[in-house]
Structure 1
Amino acid sequence: MSHPTLFSKNIKTILTFGIAVVFFVLAFASTTNLPALAQGQTNYTLKTMFTGSDKCLDIINDAKDNQLIMANCGNYSGQYWQIEATNFSGYYRLKTLFT
């Protein structure tokens, strides 16, 4: 059984990273031609000014939840992100090489 405080802390962390990714996509979309980027197989690493250039958005490979974290940057498949077009005009999916 989860401890309520730990659970709520985990939910806040997940929401914070989720919100950060949404803001990144919105900022990126406003300055970039996303349809052109979604055509290629280019990999991107996502970083924030807050955590610095040595931390990258990563997926925890724990075979359970695959949660987002800011981890030390390295050559890890969970840190390489691609922009993928969806079946809905104007909507895009962020996915990693890990997922």
Structure 2
Amino acid sequence: MLHKFQQFYPDLERLINFIAISDEYVAKAPSQERFLEVIIRLEREVFGTAKMRGPRVASLRVGEPKNLRDCYDTYKAQKRETVEQVTLELETTVRTLVTDVS
């Protein structure tokens, strides 16, 4: 019976990791330690493990803001389609930003 519960440990760890990452965590008290903790949790989620390395250099790129008011009239008429379109646009923008950094 213990073996059955042990099978859920990796999923439980992922859930704890996911819950711990929130946009408020760093914003409430920004610090290097909090940024590092979020990075480590994201590395665990993406790569399965966090690798500790020496000093790090981070690059941050912020895309152009998207004014959702421009989409509001269309959204009122076609909610699902508008959400899909805006999501696709944002996803494409983020992919471009990430690709350009690499």
Same fold, TM-score > 0.5, yes or no: no
Specify which structure has the bigger relative contact order, considering alpha-carbon pairs within 8 angstroms and separated by 6 or more residues: 1
More strand per residue: 1
TM bracket, shorter-chain basis: 0.3 to 0.5
Q: Which has the higher helix share?
A: 2
TM-score (norm 2): 0.33
